[in-house]
């Protein structure tokens, strides 16, 4: 085998099936946090995450929906603000998340972005989003688009989350809900169920393996060099 002079073989980890196995699987319900990007009285994105929560609870999950009303703009207050603390506590609590935003001017809403801007990559020694699963979706008042879900995927990757392949984009969302604010039976509803099924599967598959999945060569190398410098 060719030797690689820049590779620290003593900190290299060769992935194997055995290393991905776990001795005991968690048996508690998957913990899913749902975020929406609108404060309107009849918010389509909020109704979508409420529908998602119903589906997830039917699948045995525990769900929490964060209400962004009262959350300050990022940098307009500090992290001690009660709504910021509430959001961060929920993010830390969660094992998976659902993000749903309306598309406004070809992008996610400021309300959606503000919530994500308040989520740090680390809180002390804790990385509240790293390795957790994520499903992204958007709603439109008109024709179908994928601008917002594409942007949410970028942010999910930046927060080191496992964003599932499936996603939902609901066109003319106002026509997909009845007077009872429940979603009608349609291909859009079927896709919503598909996405939630996939989110639960990925969450169950990865939540007990997160520490191994996010263990990085570069970080192990730095830790090794720090220990050598101290000794």
Residue 187: what pLDDT?
94
Q: How far apart are CA 85 and CA 125, in angstroms?
A: 17
Asked if the structure places residue 20 within a domain, the reply is no
Mean pLDDT of the chain, nearest integer: 93
Asked if the structure places residue 167 within a domain, the reply is yes
pLDDT in tens, 171-227: 999 999 999 999 999 999 999 999 999 999 999 999 999 989 998 999 899 988 988
Residue 3: what pLDDT?
78
* pLDDT classification of 143: cutoffs 50, 70, 90: confident
Q: What one-character DSSP code corresponds to residue 126?
A: B
Q: How far apart are CA 132 and CA 95, in angstroms?
A: 5
Asked if the structure places residue 19 within a domain, the reply is no
pLDDT in tens, 33-79: 999 999 998 999 999 999 999 999 999 999 999 999 999 999 898 88
Asked if the structure places residue 119 within a domain, the reply is yes
Residue 148: what pLDDT?
95
pTM value > 0.85: yes
Torsion angles phi and psi, residue 124, rounded to 5:
65, -125
Average pLDDT over residues 161-172: 96
Measured CA to CA in angstroms, residue 184 lies from 34, 52, 100, 138, 178 at distances of 20, 13, 18, 17, 7
pLDDT in tens, 87-113: 999 999 999 999 999 999 999 999 999
Residue 1: what pLDDT?
58
Q: How many domains does the chain have?
A: 1
Asked if the structure places residue 12 within a domain, the reply is no
Asked if the structure places residue 135 within a domain, the reply is yes
Strand partners, 177: 183
Which residue range forms the structural domain that includes residue 158?
27-230
Strand partners, 31: 62
Tokens of 31: 């913990």
CATH number at residue 137: 3.40.50.360
Average pLDDT over residues 144-168: 95
With 0-12 / 13-18 / 19 or more C-beta atoms within 10 angstroms meaning exposed / middle / buried, residue 185 is exposed
Asked if the structure places residue 76 within a domain, the reply is yes
Task: Decide if 181 contacts 174 (C-beta within 8 A).
Answer: no
With 0-12 / 13-18 / 19 or more C-beta atoms within 10 angstroms meaning exposed / middle / buried, residue 75 is exposed
* Cβ-based neighbour number of residue 188 at 10 Å: 20
Asked if the structure places residue 5 within a domain, the reply is no
């Amino acid at each position: 085998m060719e030797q690689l002079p820049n590779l620290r073989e003593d900190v290299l980890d060769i992935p194997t099936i055995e290393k991905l196995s776990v001795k005991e699987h968690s048996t508690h319900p998957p913990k899913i946090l749902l975020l929406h990007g609108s404060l309107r009285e009849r918010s389509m994105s909020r109704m979508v995450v409420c529908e998602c929560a119903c589906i997830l609870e039917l699948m045995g999950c525990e769900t929490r929906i964060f209400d962004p009303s009262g959350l300050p703009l990022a940098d307009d207050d500090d992290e001690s603000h009660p709504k910021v603390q509430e959001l961060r506590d929920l993010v830390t609590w969660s094992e998976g998340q659902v993000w749903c935003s309306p598309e406004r001017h070809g992008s996610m809403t400021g309300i959606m972005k503000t919530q994500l801007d308040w989520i740090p990559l680390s809180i002390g020694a804790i990385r509240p989003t790293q390795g957790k699963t994520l499903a992204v979706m958007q709603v439109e008042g008109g024709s179908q688009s994928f601008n917002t879900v594409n942007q949410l995927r970028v942010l999910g990757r930046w927060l080191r989350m496992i964003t599932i392949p499936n996603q939902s984009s609901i066109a003319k969302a106002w026509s997909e809900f009845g007077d009872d604010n429940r979603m009608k039976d349609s291909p859009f509803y079927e896709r919503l169920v598909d996405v939630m099924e996939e989110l639960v599967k990925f969450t169950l598959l990865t939540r007990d393996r997160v520490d191994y999945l996010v263990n990085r060569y570069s970080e192990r190398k730095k830790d090794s060099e720090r220990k050598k410098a101290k000794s």
